[in-house]
Structure 1
Amino acid sequence: MLAVAEINYIRHEVNIKDGNYSEIAKRMGRDPRTVKKYADQEDFNLEIRPKQTRPSPVMDSVKPIIDEWLLEDFKLKKKFRRTAKRMWEQLKEDFAFKGSDRTVRDYVSNRKKELLNESSQAALPLENRPGAAQVDFGEAPFKYQGEQIVLPYLVLSYPYSNAFYFQVFPSQNRECFLEGLKRIFHHMGGVPKTIRFDNLSAAVKKVLPNGERQLTEGFQNFVLHYGFECEFCNPNSGNEKGHVEAMVKYVRNNFLLPSLHVLDLDELNKMLWKKAEKDRERKHYEKESLISKLFEDDRKACLVLPTKEYQCIRYETLKADKYGYVKLDKNLYSTSPRFALSKVLIRISYNKIDILIDNHELVVSHSRLYGQYRKSMKWQPYLNLMAKRPMALKYTSFYEQLPPEWQTYFHSCTTSEKSEALKLLGTLLKDYDFNRITEALNIASEHGHPSVESIKQVFYQIINGRGIREELHIQKPLPSMPIATRGLQHYDQLLKGAE
């Protein structure tokens, strides 16, 4: 390519002065054909030549393999990904690759950039790409113990495939929200690359003026643990996650109406996995493919699960009242008399409230209460105190909760026996339930009113495998034994033998 000044000179000398090609070429030190080309050229539009792709017999056969490895590795943390050198070694070991490591490194470097560019485009909002999900809560009526109640359910949907999962919970609080997401991730065996949320309080602490979100500490740690990218709708813009909102209605109408009878939420939720997966055996409303088949693309695009599950718990320090109760969400939980008017550490999950001491040793565990102004009482930590006032036993709810055998036993006890029995229960109920303890009472009572010490001995015989021994079944009859007689005649016979 000649310089612009040279081209202008050629065109001026030839076209304006009618100069000779050879003479001009001689003056410029150029080939006459070059002079003629630029003198006669009419089109000077910028020409962009396509990049030539030369066939590469050695690399072409392994490029799909490397692409698959790169896509697999993008689901992992960077420290767990293969290097280009390791890929080259694998190609040599597994596919008898003959190319150089430099060739593989160049291809991996360029292909990574291309794939990362595609990945960034795939994460654009509202693009129905595999591996992107949306989340929202819905509500439905249920029947529990003869009453009509309303419970929330968490839905995670995949707009690309139109697949979904859902789980029912007692509340929309932070612990239920995170527990639901965690269950879905571990059930399907992967984590969506991006998840779009509403500005629900379990995740968003504050919406900032510049459009960013201040996340709750628990949700922020959850996001970091599972590695997905979270997106949030603009305030009052639920249409930005329209797919999951439509799926919330679909789930309610097709699976939760009319009202289901609920005895155990965990058992119900196990059944709901199957219902959601069975629903995929129908065609997508637009793509004319089975949802189950499209969902495999969603699954392949998901991130790999971390090695450990996230513990969906939080801790609070609360002050107990004079009876040893702490208040959480307007409900009361018993601790221990020794914590009266003191601060205690509480570990909170979606279904449990654990009372801990400073070194995180468990004092007592409660099922979490939902609703308001309810009370959960665990009597075991209070029994040593009750043993000092045994006559008050009959006026406590603990007495009403006792198995009938123990109520009968306490009715026959003296004051001192009641005290000793309460101390024994206070010790045993730390690690055992009433079934084994009542079994020990029944065995010890076979010959009348037992002492507390005998109940204790029988109990430890039972748990150590030395409770009721099996009867011996003798197959052969024992030989008849001579009748034993008393008297000195036996000695007379012995002396006669000595003589």
Structure 2
Amino acid sequence: MEIYEKIRYYREHTDFSQRNVAKILGISRNTVKKYWEGRTVPWERKPGSGRKNDIITDDVKAFIMKCLDSDQKAPRKQQHTAHKIYTRLVAECGFDGCEASVRRTVAELKGKVSNVFVPLSYDPAEAVQVDWGEATVILGGIRQKIQIWCMRECHSGDIFVSAFYRQNEESFLEGIVKGLEHFGGTPQKIIFDNARVAVKEGFGCHAKATDKYLSLSAHYSFKPVFCNPAQGHEKGLVEGLVGLVRRNFFVPVPNISTIDELNEKLLEYCAVYRNHKIPGKDLTVGEMAENCKEHWIPLPPYRYDTSNTLQIKADDFSLVRFDHNKYAVPYQYSSKMITVKGSGNQVIMLFRGEIIAKYDRDYRHNQTHYRLEHYIGLIEKRPRSVYNAAPIKKTVPTELYQFLMKLSSPKEIVKVLRLYLDIGNAVLKHLPYADSYNTLYAGVIGSPVRKIQIESSIGIVPPDLKRYDSLLKGGDAV
């Protein structure tokens, strides 16, 4: 403003030329010329440089939008960058502008649709969204990560949450079946992303479901729908559920004994959530879920078998190998064909349709799981094996094993093992009593146990003394 004031002063009150004024003020002659007659004022400026960008034409913008639209169906790591769009413009359209102008235009066009979403509305039981999450728990005293399976009905917001050890196909299918049973029916469609447990090829609307997922969807009569890559907003309801459960249920870190106990508590959380009222809704989640009941597709009578089922021959050590690990079966089934059903969290062994063993599924490698009761009959027939039998070393407590090695003979060890199978860890509290004897026999530890068992089995009925009170009162009257 000071420069402008001086230029106008010299113009109106002196005979100085523009050249002289520029020299006096030490500024450019173009600046003096610009403000000399007062046609232009410094406090009114045109936005930007004032130059028109004729390089980014409507045709160029249309080509850029075409590239960005094609990215909706492409994998996240195979989408157009601004540089790639520039090189295509040069090669395919003869573009002669600079790359910086293309970068600015790409940023502007992307900014028009970023963080802007279309409000969605679902009919009762029309759709269920599903997704995986991850959380940390203390399971059996060990801190570890587990997978959270989340399902949400889109109309009511009703939820189902379950915990699994891994995100494999068995867990995925089992989670869906349990969720449908929790809701009480099947929706028209289930919305999921492009995870390998569900998709064998393609992505988004071009995805092809795996054979087992396809058979499950056919059995329960729902349509599997897959989201576009990197488009989490297409299943935003369940994306929000994952964070909701992690922030509320898993804080503080749960300390539980088994994963079954964790799943029971998660079901309780789902039941409590039905009392919640979602902002903007007139009814609670539970009330809206009630309105969905008559719209669900009924569940079929046959429950779909989601397990990974195999026929495997037990080896000579009565062990069955499944998924990189070995699991013991009763020794009578050695060398027989066993049906193994591996679900998300369990491994079940069957022989001719009858369950003969059940284990928590172990996802480590090269682990062997024994059960003492599976081998005790064989050990009784071959008692000298007790000193090196893996089913004994790997299953009995260290304290009990050290006591067993003090016993006088293998047969005495077998007797104590039988006692251990009968009463469990309760036998441990009798070890100090038995250890006080110079010569140890199974009967030494067995006698106090039997005494306790006999005493606990005898019922003592306290006498009724009211009759004597009545006689005493009668005697006073006489």
Fold-level similarity (TM above 0.5): yes
Q: TM-score range by the shorter chain?
A: 0.5 to 0.7
The yes-or-no answer on 1:318 pairing with 2:312 is yes
The yes-or-no answer on 1:229 pairing with 2:240 is no
Q: CA RMSD in A?
A: 4.5
CA contact (8 A) 1:193 1:301 kept: no
How does the TM-score come out when normalised to structure 2? Answer: 0.56
The yes-or-no answer on 1:296 pairing with 2:301 is no
Deviations, residues 172-214 of structure 1 (Å, cap 9, x unaligned): 2233223333333333333323211223333334448992524
How much does 1:156 deviate? 0.8
Q: Which runs of 5+ in 2 are unaligned?
A: 1-118, 435-439, 465-478
Match of 1:360?
353
CA distance in 2, matches of 1:247, 1:472: 57
**Distance 1:436-1:470 versus aligned 2 partners, 3 A rule:** farther
Match of 1:54?
none
CA distance in 1, matches of 2:148, 2:344: 14
How much does 1:265 deviate? 2.6
CA distance in 2, matches of 1:174, 1:225: 17
Give 1:47-446 correspondences, 5 Å limit.
128-131=122-125, 132-207=127-202, 211=206, 213-217=208-212, 219-287=213-281, 289-318=283-312, 320=314, 323-335=317-329, 344-357=338-351, 359-400=352-393, 401-402=395-396, 412=407, 414-415=409-410, 421=415, 425=418, 434-435=423-424
Secondary structure, in 3 states, of the residue corresponding to 1:151?
strand
**Distance 1:294-1:384 versus aligned 2 partners, 3 A rule:** closer
How does the TM-score come out when normalised to structure 1? Answer: 0.54
**Distance 1:212-1:339 versus aligned 2 partners, 3 A rule:** same
How much does 1:377 deviate? 0.9
**Distance 1:468-1:296 versus aligned 2 partners, 3 A rule:** closer
Secondary structure, in 3 states, of the residue corresponding to 2:237?
helix
How much does 1:434 deviate? 4.3
Deviations, residues 12-49 of structure 1 (Å, cap 9, x unaligned): xxxxxxxxxxxxxxxxxxxxxxxxxxxxxxxxxxxxxx
CA distance in 1, matches of 2:322, 2:131: 26
In structure 2, what residue type is equivalent to 1:345? Answer: T
CA distance in 2, matches of 1:152, 1:176: 10
Secondary structure, in 3 states, of the residue corresponding to 2:147?
strand
CA distance in 2, matches of 1:211, 1:245: 22
In structure 2, what residue type is equivalent to 1:386? Answer: I
Q: Which runs of 5+ in 1 are unaligned?
A: 1-124, 476-499
CA contact (8 A) 2:194 2:203 kept: no
Give 1:458-477 correspondences, 5 Å limit.
none
How much does 1:154 deviate? 1.0
CA distance in 1, matches of 2:164, 2:173: 11
CA distance in 2, matches of 1:270, 1:210: 36
**Distance 1:167-1:354 versus aligned 2 partners, 3 A rule:** closer
How much does 1:436 deviate? 12
CA contact (8 A) 1:366 1:378 kept: no
CA contact (8 A) 2:149 2:175 kept: yes
Deviations, residues 249-271 of structure 1 (Å, cap 9, x unaligned): 22222332342222233333333
**Distance 1:271-1:318 versus aligned 2 partners, 3 A rule:** same
Match of 1:11?
none
Secondary structure, in 3 states, of the residue corresponding to 1:296?
helix
**Distance 1:253-1:412 versus aligned 2 partners, 3 A rule:** closer
**Distance 1:307-1:250 versus aligned 2 partners, 3 A rule:** same
Secondary structure, in 3 states, of the residue corresponding to 2:206?
coil
Deviations, residues 433-462 of structure 1 (Å, cap 9, x unaligned): 5459979x99xx9xx9678xx99xx9xxx9
CA distance in 2, matches of 1:261, 1:181: 26
CA contact (8 A) 1:324 1:335 kept: yes
CA contact (8 A) 2:205 2:226 kept: no
In structure 2, what residue type is equivalent to 1:166? Answer: V
Deviations, residues 250-302 of structure 1 (Å, cap 9, x unaligned): 22223323422222333333332333343344543344554443333333422
CA distance in 1, matches of 2:391, 2:143: 30
